[in-house]
Amino acid sequence: MELIVVWRVLRRRWWVILLPVIVAAVIAVPEFIQNEQSGSAGWQTNFSYSAAQAASNLDNRDGDYQDVWLASEFVVNAFTEWVQSSTFRAELADVTGNPEFLNGLNIVADNNRSVGVVYMSHPDQLILTRLEEAAIDVLQTRNQAYFPHLGDTSAQVTIINRAGVFPAPQPLTNRFEPILQLGAAFFAGIVLAGILEYFDPRIRYLDEAEADGLSVLAIIPKHK
C-alpha cells in the first residue's frame, strides 16, 4: 500500500521533482565543461633524469662497476629529497630572477633506483615552462654546493624524458561535484513534492477518503 501511495505522489508531482534538477543542471553542467576546457585546475609537467658522480671523482675501476651503479642510486636518492627542499626553491628563484614565480608552485619527486622523476605543477603555463627549465639547470649545475662528497665538480645529470607542460586534470571533488549537485537537487525535489502533497487538502482516491473516516456511498466512474 505504501508503494502505491509513493507512486501516486511521484506521478502527480513529477514536475516538482524535476524542477530543481533542471535548475541545477543548467548551472552545474556548463560550469563543469568550461572548467575542463579552460584547464582551470592549473598545469603540470614532469621529467626523469639519471645522475652520477663525475668520472674524475671516481676511482679507477677494473671491470667491476657495481659500486658505480650503487653510487648513482645514492645520488638520485639524495637529489629526490633536495628538489623538494627550500634551498632548491631558492635556487629556482635565483635562476628565474623572480621569486614570485614560486607562488603556487608544487614540486614532488620520486625515484626508482638510479632514475629520478620530478613532478611540477603551477597555475600559469608559461611560468611553469620557465620553472621547469630552471629546475633542470639547477639540477645539472648547482648540486655540488649542497653535497660536499661530490667535491668541487657537479654530479653529471642527464635528462631522460620530458613530458612537456599539459593541463592538470580536475580534482576528483570537482569531477563529482555536478553529480552531487544533481543528486542534492533530486532529493530536494522529492522533499518539496512531499511537502506539497502533505498540505494538499484534496481527496482523489477511495482509500484516502476511507482513511479520513468518510463513508463512501457510491463511486462515479470517469467519463469516457
Q: How many CA atoms lie within 13 A of 14 on its CB side?
A: 4
At 12 the pLDDT is 82
- The full set of domain ranges for the chain reads 2-37+172-211, 42-167
Q: How far is CA 191 from CA 10, 28, 140, in A?
A: 11, 21, 63
> Per the structure block, which three cell numbers stand in for 64?
667491476
CATH class of 42-167: alpha beta
Other CB atoms within 10 Å distance of the CB of residue 52: 20
Where residue 37 falls among pLDDT bands split at 50, 70, 90?
low
Q: Is the pLDDT of residue 130 over 90?
A: yes
- 90 versus 204: the higher-pLDDT residue is 90
pLDDT digits (tens, 9 = 90+) for 149-175: 777 788 889 999 999 999 887 666 666
Other CB atoms within 10 Å distance of the CB of residue 185: 20
pLDDT more than 90, % of the chain: 37
Over range 36-56, report the average pLDDT.
Answer: 78
At 25 the pLDDT is 85
